[in-house]
């Protein structure tokens, strides 16, 4: 007798993504959609016994950078390993379309600097089967994958496409430039862009040190582009900014005017910086005020510090800029470890300036007072007394000596954890306060980017383990809502994010008591042998995309039901 459904998940504890209380129920799937919830009498071609397990919607991540990886890879790890079934990429104003052939190198250099994706990886992995943004989406659509993806139109690519070298020199856009950007934006939205992204931060530079072309874009340019979004019918504008020009309130007011005039929504990255420890509170308040006035300008926040992993296998360590380390940087790990254990080499390297030749001097400005031994299992919430500076003071050594020795632990596979943001007070109080505001969106995992020194794509697993199971700060239904329907709604993805009849059958079956992180590790599986940091998760018994099981117990099934999702206007 033929099965009535393609999949039935039985006896699970359903956390439906709305924030409602859990319930015990079966979930039946047919044709990639949820067709029945409750006591399902009909059989499934495939059945999963979820007794004692959670059944949640698939997680939605609206801040990723899989723009390159989605071209060459059908498996969007590490996000797919952490329950994510839909990812929006093209954030922070960087991406690969639109792009004229003569400008390809410019966008590669920018992505290399901003998102730490090596140029050889992109040169080998990108086939450049496009010029327009619509052609880029068509190229993405030809590649099956394990999760669904959608894309934002990146401002840097549009600006370079229209203005060429004038964009790189940060010249002001003319009225004609703005008109062209507006038309490109409208066309991109009609072909499937979810919206538009821009960057206004000095931390975004090409590998040559040039600031992102969008840094000084004037209000009239942003307004013109936003009107292009309105022309096309897209949902949201994504912004990352330093909020320094001249202060958060002034720049936020500009964003508010753009949003109000265009009728769009906006999201912006919100973090606590080391140099301006309180300004995030002002931005949170401004966002809340806008919401009360009927304007959606929502902060996207991280659920823990955004931290750099410094190690000999990664792309950065505290001594990467020294002449001695540069001489051995291209050697295999075992050779470097052997050389670094030589007392004479150690003395020489520690006598050298690590800052002058560094490609990432920010870590030195943060300093050893905010560097920690990462350990195994990894520790994301170290105490003040665990800092390298504190260890050095207790042991009568210098901080660089302590850091040097930590890097050599575990045959050179040890990491030093350096929180970039959200950890000024050496605790989780800042991420907690940001998350406590229901106007905020959990995100900023940056999957697909910073592949050699940041690994935060596991934020969904952190939400479950730390804020849910360990701290019990929020009830499980609220945590799942923050991972599913909330970001889905912000992106205009109304067909997913909840377990309800008719919704897309993107689901996770989770053994809540066993959810945990694996130890981060380095692999060299990118095009051209490029390296990247990866981190697996445990406790995800099954992940389902469009009714098809893509992962069982963290291992890929080989099924690739994931598709390109086009924005509302295109759909």
pLDDT band per the 50, 70, 90 thresholds, residue 244: confident
* SS3 letters across 297-362: EEEEECCCCEEEEECCCCCCCCCCCCHHHHHHCCCCHHHHHHHHCCHHHHHHHHCCCCCCCCCCCH
Mean pLDDT in residue range 79-97: 97
pLDDT of residue 1: 64
pLDDT band per the 50, 70, 90 thresholds, residue 265: very high
pLDDT of residue 153: 98
Does residue 188 sit in the same domain as residue 73? yes
d(Cα 108, Cα 421) in Å, to the nearest integer?
A: 26
Q: Does the residue 281 lie in any domain?
A: yes
- CB-based burial label for 385 (10 Å; 0-12, 13-18, 19+): exposed
For 489-501, letters b (16+ CB in 10 Å) and e give: bbbbbeebbbbee
Mean pLDDT in residue range 303-311: 96
pLDDT of residue 206: 74
Q: Does the residue 497 lie in any domain?
A: no
pLDDT of residue 569: 63
Mean pLDDT in residue range 325-333: 97
Strand locations in 152-284, DSSP E?
A: 153-154, 195-200, 236-241, 265-270
Greatest alpha-carbon pair distance for the chain in Å reads: 77
Q: What angle do CA 399, 404, 407 make, to 5 degrees?
A: 125
d(Cα 551, Cα 145) in Å, to the nearest integer?
A: 12
pTM for the full predicted model: 0.96
d(Cα 187, Cα 409) in Å, to the nearest integer?
A: 53
Does residue 127 sit in the same domain as residue 229? yes
Which residue is it, tokens 């072909």? 191
- Look at residue 571 and tell me whether its pLDDT is greater than 70: no
Q: Is the peptide bond before 98 cis (omega within 30 degrees of 0)?
A: yes
pLDDT of residue 297: 98
Does residue 144 sit in the same domain as residue 290? yes
Radius of gyration of the chain (CA): 23
Q: Is the separation of the CB atoms in 236 and 202 below 8 Å?
A: no
Does residue 78 sit in the same domain as residue 192? yes
d(Cα 30, Cα 478) in Å, to the nearest integer?
A: 28
pLDDT band per the 50, 70, 90 thresholds, residue 245: confident
Q: Does the residue 17 lie in any domain?
A: yes
Q: Closest Cα partner for 57 from 563, 565, 477? A: 477
437-487 pLDDT, tens digit per residue, is 999 999 999 999 989 899 999 999 999 999 999 999 999 999 999 999 999
Mean pLDDT in residue range 317-331: 97
Q: Does the residue 292 lie in any domain?
A: yes
Looking at the structure of the chain, the number of domains it has is 3
Does residue 301 sit in the same domain as residue 365? no
The residue from 375, 399, 421 where one domain ends is 421
Does residue 391 sit in the same domain as residue 352? yes
In terms of residue numbers, what domain contains 359? Answer: 308-421
Average pLDDT of the residues of the chain: 95
The residue from 421, 438, 459 where one domain ends is 421
pLDDT of residue 77: 97
DSSP symbol at 474: S
pLDDT of residue 362: 83
Q: Does the residue 495 lie in any domain?
A: no
d(Cα 351, Cα 344) in Å, to the nearest integer?
A: 11
538-563 pLDDT, tens digit per residue, is 999 999 999 999 999 999 999 999 99
- In percent, the amount of the chain with pLDDT more than 70 equals 99
Q: Does the residue 498 lie in any domain?
A: no
Mean pLDDT in residue range 266-278: 94
Written as six digits, the tokens of 125 are: 């992995």
Does residue 301 sit in the same domain as residue 315? no
pLDDT band per the 50, 70, 90 thresholds, residue 145: very high
pLDDT band per the 50, 70, 90 thresholds, residue 158: very high
- CB-based burial label for 561 (10 Å; 0-12, 13-18, 19+): buried
CATH of the domain at 38: 2.30.40.10
The residue from 406, 421, 436 where one domain ends is 421
Does residue 41 sit in the same domain as residue 83? no
Phi and psi, residue 41, nearest 5°? -80, -35
Phi and psi, residue 84, nearest 5°? -75, 130
Mean pLDDT in residue range 140-156: 97
Does residue 176 sit in the same domain as residue 299? yes
Q: Does the residue 520 lie in any domain?
A: no
Written as six digits, the tokens of 71 are: 């071209």
196-206 pLDDT, tens digit per residue, is 999 998 888 77
- Look at residue 570 and tell me whether its pLDDT is greater than 70: no
Does residue 127 sit in the same domain as residue 209? yes
219-234 pLDDT, tens digit per residue, is 999 999 999 999 999 8
Does residue 344 sit in the same domain as residue 278? no
CATH of the domain at 262: 3.20.20.140
42-86 pLDDT, tens digit per residue, is 999 999 999 999 999 999 999 999 999 999 999 999 999 999 999
490-542 pLDDT, tens digit per residue, is 999 999 999 999 999 999 999 999 999 989 999 999 999 999 999 999 999 99
Does residue 99 sit in the same domain as residue 199? yes
């Amino acid at each position: 007798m033929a099965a009535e459904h393609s999949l039935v998940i039985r006896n699970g504890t359903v956390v439906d993504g709305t924030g409602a209380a859990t319930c015990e129920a079966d979930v039946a799937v047919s044709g990639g959609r949820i067709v029945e919830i409750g006591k399902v009498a009909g059989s499934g071609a495939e059945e999963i016994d979820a007794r004692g397990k959670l059944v949640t919607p698939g997680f939605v991540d609206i801040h990723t950078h899989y723009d390159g990886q989605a071209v060459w890879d059908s498996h969007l790890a590490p996000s797919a390993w952490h329950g994510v079934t839909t990812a929006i990429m093209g954030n922070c104003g960087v991406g690969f379309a639109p792009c004229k052939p003569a400008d390809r190198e410019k966008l590669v250099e920018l992505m290399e600097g901003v998102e730490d994706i090596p140029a050889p990886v992109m040169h080998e992995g990108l086939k450049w089967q496009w010029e327009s943004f619509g052609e880029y989406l068509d190229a993405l659509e030809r590649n099956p994958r394990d999760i669904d993806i959608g894309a934002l139109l990146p401002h840097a690519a549009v600006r370079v496409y229209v203005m060429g070298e004038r964009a790189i020199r940060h010249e002001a856009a003319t009225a004609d430039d703005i008109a062209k950007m507006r038309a490109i934006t409208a066309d991109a939205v009609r072909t499937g862009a979810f919206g538009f992204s821009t960057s206004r931060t000095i931390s975004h530079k090409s590998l040559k040190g040039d600031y992102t072309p969008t840094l000084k874009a004037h209000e009239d340019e942003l307004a013109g582009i936003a009107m292009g979004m309105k022309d096309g019918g897209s949902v949201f504008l994504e912004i990352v900014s330093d909020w320094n020009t001249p202060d958060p309130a002034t720049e936020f007011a500009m964003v508010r005017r753009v949003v109000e005039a265009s009728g769009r929504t906006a999201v912006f990255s919100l973090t606590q910086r080391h140099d301006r420890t309180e300004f995030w509170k002002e931005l949170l308040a401004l966002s809340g005020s806008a919401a009360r006035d009927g304007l959606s300008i929502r902060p996207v926040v991280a659920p823990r510090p955004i931290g750099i992993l410094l190690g000999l296998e990664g792309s950065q360590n505290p001594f990467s800029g020294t002449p001695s380390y540069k001489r051995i940087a291209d050697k295999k790990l075992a050779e470097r470890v052997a050389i670094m254990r030589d007392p004479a080499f150690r003395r020489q390297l520690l006598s050298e300036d690590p800052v002058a030749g560094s490609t990432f001097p920010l870590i030195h400005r943060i300093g050893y007072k905010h560097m920690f031994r990462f350990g195994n299992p990894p520790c994301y919430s170290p105490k003040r007394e665990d800092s390298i500076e504190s260890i050095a003071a207790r042991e009568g050594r210098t901080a660089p000596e302590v850091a040097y020795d930590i890097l050599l632990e575990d045959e050179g596979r040890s990491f030093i954890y350096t929180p970039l943001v959200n950890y000024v007070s050496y605790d989780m109080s800042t991420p907690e306060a940001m998350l406590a505001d229901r106007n905020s969106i959990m995100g900023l995992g940056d999957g697909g980017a910073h592949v050699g020194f940041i690994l935060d794509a596991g934020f969904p697993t952190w939400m479950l383990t730390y804020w849910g199971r360990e701290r019990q700060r929020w009830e499980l239904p609220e945590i799942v809502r923050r991972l599913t329907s909330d970001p889905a709604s912000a992106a205009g993805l109304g067909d997913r994010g909840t377990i309800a009849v008719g919704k897309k059958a993107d689901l996770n079956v989770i053994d809540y008591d066993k959810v945990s992180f694996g130890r981060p590790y380095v692999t060299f599986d990118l095009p051209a042998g490029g390296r990247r940091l990866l981190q697996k998760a445990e406790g995800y018994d099954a992940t389902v995309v469009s009714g098809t099981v893509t992962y069982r117990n963290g291992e890929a099934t080989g099924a690739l039901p994931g598709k390109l999702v086009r924005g509302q206007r295109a759909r």
